[in-house]
Structure 1
């Protein structure tokens, strides 16, 4: 039997004192508040009283650390999968406000529908779908938790809803340590729930791609 439900969990707050777009750069782990958020997300999944059969994680430090409370609560070691990683972005390591003030960088904004500044949205959707489908089909039953990043989760939401993937990053509904849940119905993904179980007031959330 396949899984019963699949939860895409975003990582918690990242220690990012320079407030740069961190992307896939190494060395960006959770802040103390971020660890609390990750714990709250895991406890919220536990509170649903649904068996969790598998845990997957992006390879980046912040997602691995966000998966740790799930390991502690459910006794599952995460499967690390590159397909649910943060997309590439030419602005990695920069503060976006400063970068966009430089006319030399405007060339990266010429095709926002792709987008021209990073990995194409269609590629993100395809790799996320492949990983989610494999996780769904490989579970004997129960739920699957996949700890990922804001853009892959939001793009998956848009694709499943049949909406255009071009969007305003400031309007994403994907808070730190949020949980977006899906089920496979008639061989198609259906979003069944979205929750923000973590206390994020005052959190710094400026580094997402």
Structure 2
């Protein structure tokens, strides 16, 4: 037996008053609004009667904090998987609107299809799909929740949908505390649903942490 479904949950809003791209930088926690968003995702899974039997999260603070209310709802202790982490990025700690106008940073923008400012898309896709497969294969039954970040989740979506990995970062369909659900199909996975349980909170949110 193996897991039934995999739910990819993005973290909630991050406390980021300086509006920098935080990437893997330490100390970036959920805002008060982000905690409410994470709670909304947890409630959505419970209300759907998802048979969650396991929760695995990226090691970063914001994902650990987003996993906590899901763990509380389902009485599970979240695990950790380094492969679910946000990609490293040349622009970490910078305000993007200013950084892209600085000629010293233009070398990092020379090929957005890789992209040259951070971990290659093919690498993100490979490690995320490996984490998804291992979670599915090593869980005897029930659903698995993987708490991760916007770009890694979008790479999974793009890969299983068979669409090109290079994309416009502004057009990702992966809102704060959204839930992207996969099921096994043959030797791979298919996406079966996307939900945005925190949509009602999003108008007050700031989301500038990913590129």
Moved over 2 A (4+): none
1:184 is matched with: 184
SS of alignment partner, residue 147 of structure 1: strand
- Structure 1 runs not aligned, ≥5 long: none
SS of alignment partner, residue 45 of structure 1: helix
2:203 is matched with: 201
Structure 1 residue 207, shift from structure 2 partner: 1.3
TM-score between both structures, scaled by the size of structure 2:
0.98
Structure 1 residue 187, shift from structure 2 partner: 1.4
2:32 is matched with: 32
Structure 1 residue 82, shift from structure 2 partner: 0.6
Structure 1 residue 125, shift from structure 2 partner: 0.5
Q: Which deviations, in whole Å up to 9, do the C-alpha atoms of 1:158-186 show, x marking residues without a partner?
A: 11111111000111100000000000111
Distance 1:90 1:186 in 2: 38
Structure 1 residue 141, shift from structure 2 partner: 0.9
Distance 1:148 1:203 in 2: 18
Distance 1:104 1:22 in 2: 19
Structure 1 residue 50, shift from structure 2 partner: 2.2
Distance 1:117 1:50 in 2: 38
Distance 2:52 2:128 in 1: 20
1:154 is matched with: 154
Report 1:78-89 matches (<5 A). Answer: 78-89=78-89
Say what the alpha-carbon RMSD is for the aligned residues. Answer: 0.7
1:91 is matched with: 91
Distance 2:83 2:92 in 1: 19
2:45 is matched with: 45
2:9 is matched with: 9
- Structure 2 runs not aligned, ≥5 long: none
1:19 is matched with: 19
**Pairs aligned (count):** 209
Contact 1:53–1:140 (CA<8 Å) still a contact in 2? no
TM-score between both structures, scaled by the size of structure 1:
0.99
Distance 1:208 1:99 in 2: 14
2:115 is matched with: 115
